[in-house]
């Protein structure tokens, strides 16, 4: 082969390999969804409660956020990222999801998605009477305002294309039981059986998903209940001296989740073009509790903040002693998971999402 032909052949090979590498890189880094939209409670609230909401459920103070950049509390009920942030990162959308009520949102924030969740919220409006949070079923009002701004940035057609293809995460429900049904007689009088109250909540959830669909959402993941009886605050509230999980409350969670798993495919079948996924939170958390060493956890019965038995929100504050080994704690405060826990759950959900949408 002549020298000139050798040079041309070499350049061809180099160019081809470069193009192949770029294609592989783009396939790896290109987001699966153009945006991420979050609804629910404190498990996914990235700071909406910091703004004009008359609630005591805020996390805009240390030690919350101690493992975020600059150790800055943002309103996230954790030492670091939430499950929703982990998912946004895994899906190559963004590192942190801003709260919609944040006053200085950029156009890029809007384009790639925001959070509408409110700590203390539930599907039952009466839950928010106690917490003064934004009820889950009122969060679409913020979403409508978001849509108006999005249309102002990219126009009506492109805006709806983004919303149609966005990934939507809904995480709520525990507050309806922890802060409402289990502790208030009024709900027991109307719904004597826990199964009746579960059905009421699930009907509210169904209406909520249908409204999101009517506003353009098509790819929706709905979280089930965690093992409520294993939350440190519940073991404390029931004066559980041995700090073992409350079996009845866990059984309630299991029954609710079974109903939800049956309901979601029915909702999907009724909403043309939708993909609705169930996020199994219960089993991973129970696995972490029962096989803590496998995940690097040394403490699963109390939170990292203060005594870990009761502290949360304003009770978890700058005066509360905080554990130094946060990655070894399943819970950061008495109800909310640590960033280490969120990472594990986020990884599990990421695989589930990719299995459904890349298939």
Q: For the chain (length 359 residues), average pLDDT per consecutive 10?
A: 46 43 49 97 98 92 98 98 98 98 97 98 94 97 98 98 98 96 87 97 98 98 98 89 91 98 98 98 98 98 96 96 97 98 98 92
Are 205 and 262 in contact by the 8 Å Cβ rule? The answer is no
How is residue 95 written in tokens? 């590192």
The per-residue pLDDT for 359 is 67
Give the tokens for residue 134. Answer: 């934004």
pLDDT of residue 10: 42
Cβ atoms within 10 Å, residue 251? 14
Cα(284)–Cα(216) distance, rounded to whole angstroms?
Answer: 31
Q: How far apart, in whole angstroms, are the C-alpha atoms of residue 86 and residue 88?
A: 6
CA dihedral 283, 288, 294, 299 (to 10 degrees): -170
- The enclosing H or E element of 83 equals helix 83-90
55, 133 contact by CB (below 8 A): yes
List, by residue number, the catalytic residues: 42, 333, 336
Peptide bond into 63 cis (omega under 30): yes
CA angle at residue 345 from 238 to 25, to 5 degrees?
165
Instruction: Count CB atoms within 10 A of the CB of residue 345.
Output: 23
Strand positions, DSSP E, the chain: 36-40, 167-171, 219-223, 275-279, 299-303, 329-331
Name the helix (H) or strand (E) containing 156: helix 156-165
The pTM score is: 0.92
Alpha helices in 172-281 (DSSP H): 174-176, 185-190, 194-214, 232-237, 247-270
CA atoms within 13 A on the CB side of 339: 15
Max CA separation in the chain (angstroms): 93
Give the pLDDT of residue 18: 45
Can you list the domains of the chain with their CATH numbers? 32-227+246-283+338-357 (3.40.50)
């Amino acid at each position: 082969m002549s020298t000139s032909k050798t040079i041309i052949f070499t350049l061809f090979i180099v160019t081809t390999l470069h193009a192949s590498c770029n294609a592989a890189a783009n396939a790896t880094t290109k987001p699966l969804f153009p945006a991420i939209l979050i609804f629910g409670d404190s498990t996914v609230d990235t700071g909406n409660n910091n703004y004009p909401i008359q609630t005591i459920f805020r996390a805009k103070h240390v030690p919350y956020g101690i493992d975020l950049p600059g150790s800055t509390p943002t309103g996230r009920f954790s030492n670091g990222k939430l499950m929703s942030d982990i998912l946004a990162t895994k899906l190559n959308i963004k590192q942190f999801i801003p709260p919609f009520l944040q006053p200085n949102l950029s156009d890029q924030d809007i384009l790639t998605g925001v959070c509408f969740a409110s700590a203390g919220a539930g599907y039952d409006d009466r839950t928010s009477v106690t917490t003064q949070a934004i009820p889950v079923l009122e969060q679409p009002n913020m979403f409508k305002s978001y849509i108006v701004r999005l249309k102002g940035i990219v126009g009506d057609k492109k805006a709806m294309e983004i919303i149609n293809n966005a990934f939507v995460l809904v995480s709520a429900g525990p507050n309806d039981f922890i802060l409402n049904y289990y502790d208030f007689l009024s709900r027991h009088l109307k719904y004597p059986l826990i199964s009746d109250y579960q059905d009421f909540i699930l009907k509210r959830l169904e209406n909520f998903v249908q409204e999101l669909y009517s506003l353009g959402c098509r790819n929706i993941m709905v979280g089930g209940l965690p093992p409520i009886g294993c939350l440190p605050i519940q073991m404390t509230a029931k004066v559980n001296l041995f700090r073992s999980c409350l079996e009845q409350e866990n059984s309630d969670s299991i029954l609710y989740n079974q109903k939800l798993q049956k309901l979601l495919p029915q909702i999907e079948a009724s909403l043309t073009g939708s993909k609705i996924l169930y996020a199994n939170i219960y089993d991973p958390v129970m696995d972490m509790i029962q096989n803590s060493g496998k995940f690097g956890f040394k403490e699963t019965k109390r939170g990292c903040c203060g005594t870990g038995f009761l502290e949360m929100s304003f009770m978890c504050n700058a005066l509360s002693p905080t554990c130094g080994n946060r990655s070894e704690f399943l819970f950061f405060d008495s109800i909310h998971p640590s960033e280490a826990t969120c990472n594990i759950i986020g990884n599990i959900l990421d695989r589930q999402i990719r299995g459904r949408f890349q298939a």
